[in-house]
Every structure is written in C-alpha cells, then in structure tokens.
Amino acid sequence: MVKVKRQIVPANIAKNVTYADKNPVNYITVHQTGNPGKGANAKAHAKLQSNGNSRAASWHYTVDDKEAYQSFEDTAQCWHCSDGQGPGNTQSIGVEICINSDGDYKKAVANGAKLVKQLLDKHNLSIDRVKQHHDWYPKNCPAQIRAGKDGITWSDFINMVKGVKVSKPKKTQTGSEQITKPKANLSVDGKWGDSTTLALQKALGTPQDGIISKQPRNSATQSLYGNTVQFGNGGSNVIVALQKKIGAGTDGKLGPGTIRSLQKYLGTPVDGVLSRPSIVVKEMQRRLNAGTF
C-alpha cells in the first residue's frame, strides 16, 4: 500500500488545465516525469500542479520512492496524453512516476506499481486497462520503463502490478523451491557417468545410487561412462523421472528418442545421438550444478 497524500489543485487553477469534471475511469495511464533533477519528487510535482503548471498539462497522481500525491480527483478529466481527444485523456487516470536522481528508482517504480494496483481495485478494472502514455500517443513515455532501465521492463512492471495481490504466497513458494533444489558439483565435461547419474537422481528425487539399471544395449546407453549403466530388462526409475520431466515416453529406457527429447528440452542440437563427450550432457551438468535442471 502506497500512502497517498491529497493536495488537490484549487478550482481556479484547475479550470485552466482540466477539461471537465467528468472522467469515466476506464484506464490507468502510466508516465514517467522525464525530470531526473534532484528533488524532482512527488511532493515537488504536486506543488508544481498546485501553483499552476505553465505547461497546461495535468495528471492525477505523482509517485516517488517514498510516497504518492494526488493532485486531482479521479473524476476530473486531466490532460496528460498529448492528444486531447483520446481515451488517455478522457477516460483514464494519469500516474506519473518520478525519476529524480536523489530517489531510489526501483523503489519509485515499485511504488508506482502498487499505486496502479490500488487504483485498479478502486475502480474495479482489470490488468489490461493499464496503459502507457505511448499506447495513446507516439511519445516515448514512460521512457525509462520502456527502455528497461535497471532491468525493469514494461512486462516486469505489469507483473509487479499483478504481483501486489498474489506476491506473498508466490514468493514463499519460489523461495522454498530454491532452497530445496539440490546443487551438484559436477565437472562439466559432457561425460555421463556415475556422478552425473547421482546428481540427476538427487535432482529428480529418485533413489540415489549412481546406477541406471535394467537398460537395453543401444547407441545411447553404450555411450555412458564408468559403471553407471546396468544392462537388463525393465527400465530405471531415474530415466522414468527424467522422461516425465522432459516430455518423453516414460518406459524407463534410455535411447535415441529420450536423448532427442533431452536435447530439445535443454536447447542443444537435436540428433538423438549421445556423443562421447556430449554437448547435451554438458548442458545437463551445468544445470544440475546450478540447481536449475
């Protein structure tokens, strides 16, 4: 929840910068102030509007890394989307996010997302009603988000807006997943032997003995290293788990088909061949080490 201070622009000034006291709120339009100056925060922009903005522009809310200011009632028709006729001006609430250099940029964007979420809830609007200034008029605004400054893109921003409601359970889940996912310490050599099998068994949660049991003799199983493969009939648990994960048929037998699926899954060249050493095994080892397989 972002604290919103109300500093509503007096009527005698508002009449110069608003269209009408009628704004059917169908959209929330996001802007960035374009002012990186020190002190160009929400309070300063609220003051600018209260004193009569010489640019004859107007917007409802300004938000920075600490707080938000409301300058016009949501029902006032402001002018923040360049073109006077579009729904950006006539059916939306304008939110300006500060980019002042003495503020915390990421925090300001996060607060902007929270404020947008609060406004969506207040007006019972869905996430697709969140627009960029640029959606209404070919102006590069919100410029920094559009450029992905500090790694925050527009789709990240939208996710942040969505995340406000569901962030808690989601974060806990991701957190525990990261903690419980084992990381291996394999040499990334492309040689699939006992230690790679053991790491795979750990990652996939099957019994850990480093052995792939009951395997047919084929080009794939005969390209494994060390003593990891045991030939026979029936198939192995770890291969079933692997096949499930990568979307291959689950017969528990390693063969060209499973290698092909593994190559697709890991994004390496797809030929169904397990070379000695192998690129797809290298990639699997790399991910097992990172805990991301």
| Cα–Cα nearest to 17, from 51, 63, 47, 52 | 52
- The CA–CA distances, whole Å, from 68 to 90, 112, 271 equal 22, 8, 57
Q: Which is nearer to Zn ion, 99 or 141 (CB)?
A: 141
Element (H, E) at 108: helix 105-122
What φ, ψ does residue 30 adopt, rounded to 5°? -100, 135
Q: Provide φ and ψ at 6, rounded to 5°.
A: -95, 120
Using the minimum distance from each CB to Zn ion, give the nearer residue, 45 or 133: 133
Nearer to Zn ion, 83 or 121 (CB): 83
Shortest distance in whole angstroms from residue 249 CB to Zn ion? 54
For the bound state, the minimum distance from the C-beta of residue 163 to Zn ion, rounded and expressed in Å, comes to 23
Number of chain positions touching Zn ion (CB under 5 A): 3
Query: Of 97 and 284, which CB lies nearer to Zn ion in the complex structure?
Result: 97
The residue range among 5-13, 26-34, 115-123, 191-199 that interacts with Zn ion, by the rule CB under 5 A, is: 26-34
Binding mask 30-49 for Zn ion (x = CB under 5 A): -x------------------
- Find the part of the chain contacting Zn ion (CB under 5 A) among 125-133, 154-162, 210-218, 274-282: 125-133
Nearest-angstrom CA–CA distance, 289 and 274:
20
The DSSP symbol for 226 reads T
3-state SS, residue 66: coil
CB-wise, 133 or 282, nearer to Zn ion?
Answer: 133
Question: From the centroid of its chain, how far is CA 28?
Answer: 20
Closer Cβ to Zn ion, 136 or 192, answer by number? 136
Q: How far is the CB of 132 from Zn ion (least distance, A)?
A: 8
Separation between Cα atoms, residue 79 and residue 281, nearest integer Å: 58
Task: Give the type of residue at 257.
Answer: G
Minimum distance between the CB of residue 197 and Zn ion, rounded to whole angstroms? 56
Query: Which residue from 44, 68, 99, 141 is in contact with Zn ion, where contact means CB under 5 A?
Result: 141
Residues 136 and 290: their CA atoms lie apart, in Å, by 43
Region from 131-139, 221-229, 232-240, 259-267 binding Zn ion, contact rule CB under 5 A: 131-139
Cis ω for the linkage preceding 277 (within 30 of 0): yes
Is residue 133 a contact point for Zn ion (CB under 5 A)? yes
State yes or no: residue 117 binds Zn ion (CB under 5 A): no
Place of tokens 């060390």: 226
Chain residues in the site for Zn ion (CB under 5 A): 31, 133, 141
